[in-house]
């Protein structure tokens, strides 16, 4: 038996450049609000961690001051055969060092737990929100970019939380403590040292301004690498079949180079900042040492105080590299947080109703479907359905045929409420789909597509997706009614056989039968079959058509068909062209007429000879 397919000219489609940004607007203040939401539940632990690091830094910064005391008080006393002051200073030094070590360990453990809890929450939010977003979003925002948000962008935040914030706190507290001590020890030298903050501030400000642009570009480039990689691996069969390895390698090399260039630019900006900051620090230390030496010479400053001053200056300027690493992590994390916040701030275009309306009770399996003056256009602006009206009687099976681009799949997506009409309403037993609770809508309207996507897991688990609470007996009964029981039972582990990624362990026809068993178990009022047999061979199509008769019995059904053999089981046929119904009738009536469907049917009969 041979089947005829409605043919149409191929449509050239301009593919997006994955190196370009995804153009999701980020509402003003969204990154700040997201950060507040993530930190809010951990306020108490954050306060405790701050107190711990506060005391730890106070203990750590006591070292140079104790050195000054030892030189100016302990050593002279030792010369007088009084070791008490020096012993006391050494004991205090060792005690504060031990306290600093213990508190540092406590801070790392506490902050580490906070960081992991925050990242766990964030990844969960990204995953849940991505599932909530509407189909139009996923059709333009590639899965690779969502993966990038949940992996590389979250990792950028992890680096900041795990290391960057500790470095920032250490630098800030060091500057605070040391500034006070320097001013107390000698206000003139202290003031001279603190004047270095002005050129340091200008250096930091310049680095932040330049590096933020670089890191925004870097986050986009990393996402582009992930997009190219996942796209190639998901399409590895056509890649190898059509010898696309070299072309794909060249395309991947381009985005990979863009990512490497962006990373190199970020490192270059950091190198400029570190070089400038070290030059400033070394210049100021030299100047302070010279001024201090003059004061020691004229007796206005003790040598121990000058020694402590130099030690404190080294501690003041040594964290420059740490600050550079923090700024590096901060700019990368800021760009990542901006992109994550943009994703999480994006609301589904198909929203949950604010005032849900339940479907009326019905004794029939199927329900009436009405398209009332529906208009629909995609985001590109092209109108696909202009002023569309249609009524499908409860329990009626309707086949929809037409050339590619006629609007068949758009009709199915509107009925499943993957999209909302631009104008007009789609009603199910008189209830606007936009007023139905999502759970009730998904129970009442089920779509089986050409792909028949199966998840990694057993056959039984994939069938049970139709009704998660179903018993094993109900799952097996659904497979039996569809005609899938025999082939499933023959698998190595029967219904417990793992079908692996995308159901790759079984054939396309078998995957389709599992999908029909899933739909039968779901027991929907309305079933949509979107080209469910177009990729099957003749034996596979015959098995699926038998299953279709079982699953469609008594239900309202819409069959999007390219093969005319599929149309034979329909009660009614609609021929669509450019978003309008140009023929409507029973298969027999349209075949006996002189329209497009009659021509297609005749061509199909001729092909059987």
- Residue-wise pLDDT for 283-335, tens only, equals 888 888 888 888 888 887 787 778 888 788 877 777 666 666 677 677 778 88
pLDDT band at 371 (very low <50, low <70, confident <90, very high): very high
Higher-confidence position of 7 and 102: 102
For all residues of the chain together, what is the average pLDDT? 82
Instruction: Enter the tokens of residue 6.
Output: 């409605």
Q: Which domains does the chain have, with CATH numbers?
A: 30-345 (1.20.1560.10), 369-607 (3.40.50.300)
pLDDT of residue 13: 36
Burial of 69 (0-12, 13-18, 19+ CB in 10 A): buried
What average pLDDT score do residues 421-428 get? 93
Match 């986009």 to its residue by tokens.
220
Q: Is the pLDDT of residue 425 over 90?
A: yes
pLDDT of residue 540: 58
Q: Is the pLDDT of residue 10 over 80?
A: no
Instruction: Enter the tokens of residue 110.
Output: 């506490």
Separation between Cα atoms, residue 123 and residue 218, nearest integer Å: 21
152 near 370, Cβ under 8 Å? no
Q: What percent of the chain has pLDDT over 70?
A: 89
pLDDT of residue 455: 84
Q: Is the pLDDT of residue 42 over 70?
A: yes
**Residues 236-279: tens digit of each pLDDT:** 767 766 677 888 888 888 888 888 888 888 878 878 887 888 88
**Residues 483-513: tens digit of each pLDDT:** 888 888 998 889 998 888 777 788 877 888 8
CA distance to 2, 251, 404, 594, per residue, from 599 (Å): 17, 45, 17, 7
What average pLDDT score do residues 358-369 get? 87
pLDDT band at 544 (very low <50, low <70, confident <90, very high): low
> Residue 341's closest CA among 83, 587, 31, 20?
31
pLDDT of residue 537: 58
**Residues 393-404: tens digit of each pLDDT:** 999 999 998 888
> Residue 475's closest CA among 456, 498, 501, 494?
494
pTM for this prediction = 0.70
Q: Is the pLDDT of residue 391 over 70?
A: yes
pLDDT of residue 68: 77
What average pLDDT score do residues 530-546 get? 64
Q: Is the pLDDT of residue 54 over 50?
A: yes
What average pLDDT score do residues 206-231 get? 78
**What phi and psi values does residue 501 have, to the nearest 5 degrees?**
-60, 125
pLDDT band at 19 (very low <50, low <70, confident <90, very high): very low
> Residue 250's closest CA among 265, 237, 232, 234?
232
CB-side neighbour CA atoms (13 Å) of 35: 15
Of the candidate ranges 54-58, 224-228, 478-482, 492-496, the one whose mean pLDDT is the lowest:
224-228
pLDDT of residue 18: 42
Separation between Cα atoms, residue 448 and residue 223, nearest integer Å: 31
Separation between Cα atoms, residue 315 and residue 206, nearest integer Å: 24
Of the candidate ranges 151-160, 559-568, 593-602, the one whose mean pLDDT is the lowest:
559-568
What average pLDDT score do residues 227-235 get? 77
CB-side neighbour CA atoms (13 Å) of 494: 6
């Amino acid at each position: 038996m041979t089947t005829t397919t409605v043919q149409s000219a191929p449509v050239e489609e301009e593919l997006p450049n994955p190196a370009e940004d995804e153009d999701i607007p980020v509402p003003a203040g969204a990154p700040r609000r997201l950060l507040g939401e993530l930190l809010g539940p951990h306020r108490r632990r954050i306060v405790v961690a701050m107190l711990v690091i506060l005391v730890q830094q106070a203990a750590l910064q006591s070292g140079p001051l104790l050195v000054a005391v030892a030189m100016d008080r302990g050593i002279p006393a030792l010369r007088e055969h009084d070791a008490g002051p020096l012993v006391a200073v050494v004991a205090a030094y060792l005690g504060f060092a031990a306290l600093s070590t213990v508190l540092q360990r406590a801070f790392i453990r506490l902050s580490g737990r906070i960081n992991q809890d925050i990242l766990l929450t964030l990844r969960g939010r990204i995953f849940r929100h991505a599932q909530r977003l509407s189909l139009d979003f996923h059709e333009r925002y590639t899965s690779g970019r969502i993966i990038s948000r949940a992996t590389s962008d979250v990792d950028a935040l992890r680096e900041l939380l795990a290391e960057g914030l500790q470095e920032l706190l250490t630098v800030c507290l060091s500057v605070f403590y040391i500034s006070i001590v320097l001013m107390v020890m000698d206000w003139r030298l202290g003031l001279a040292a603190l004047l270095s903050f002005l050129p340091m501030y200008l250096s930091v400000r310049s680095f932040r301004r330049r590096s933020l642009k670089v890191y925004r570009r870097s986050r986009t480039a990393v996402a582009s690498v992930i997009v190219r990689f996942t796209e190639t691996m998901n399409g590895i069969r056509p890649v190898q079949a059509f010898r696309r390895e070299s072309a794909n390698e060249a395309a991947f090399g381009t985005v990979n180079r863009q990512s490497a260039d962006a990373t190199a630019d970020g490192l270059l900006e950091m190198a400029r900042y570190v070089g400038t900051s070290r030059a400033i620090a070394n210049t100021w230390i030299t100047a302070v040492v010279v001024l201090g030496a003059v004061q020691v010479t004229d007796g206005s400053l003790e040598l121990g105080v000058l020694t402590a001053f130099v030690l404190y200056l080294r501690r003041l300027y040594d964290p420059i590299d740490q600050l550079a690493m923090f700024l590096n992590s901060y700019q990368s994390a800021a760009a990542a947080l901006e992109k994550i916040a943009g994703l999480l701030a994006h609301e589904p275009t198909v929203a949950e109703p604010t005032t849900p309306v339940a479907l009326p009770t019905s004794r029939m399996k199927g329900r009436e479907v009405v398209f009332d003056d529906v208009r629909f256009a995609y985001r590109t602006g092209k109108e696909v359905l202009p002023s569309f009206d249609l009524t499908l009687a409860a329990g009626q099976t309707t086949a929809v045929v037409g050339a590619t681009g006629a609007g068949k799949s758009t009709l199915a997506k509107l009925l499943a409420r993957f999209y909302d009409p631009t104008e007009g309403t789609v009603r199910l037993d008189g209830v606007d789909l936009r007023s139905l609770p999502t759970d009730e809508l998904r129970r009442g309207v089920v779509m089986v597509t050409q792909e028949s996507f199966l998840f990694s897991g057993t056959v039984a688990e994939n069938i049970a997706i139709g009704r998660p609470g179903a018993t094993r007996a109900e799952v097996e009964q659904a497979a039996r009614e569809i005609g899938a029981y025999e082939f499933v039972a023959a698998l190595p582990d029967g219904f417990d056989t793992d079908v692996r990624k995308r159901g790759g362990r079984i054939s396309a026809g078998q995957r389709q039968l599992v999908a029909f068993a899933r739909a039968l178990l779901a027991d929907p009022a309305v079933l949509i079959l979107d080209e469910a047999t177009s990729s099957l061979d003749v034996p596979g199509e015959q098995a699926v058509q038998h299953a279709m008769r079982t699953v469609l019995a008594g239900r309202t059904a819409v069959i999007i068909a390219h093969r005319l053999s599929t149309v034979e089981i329909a009660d009614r046929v609609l021929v669509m062209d450019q978003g309008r119904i140009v023929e409507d009738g029973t298969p027999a009536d349209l075949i006996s007429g002189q329209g497009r469907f009659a021509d297609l049917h005749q061509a199909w009969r001729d092909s059987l000879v």
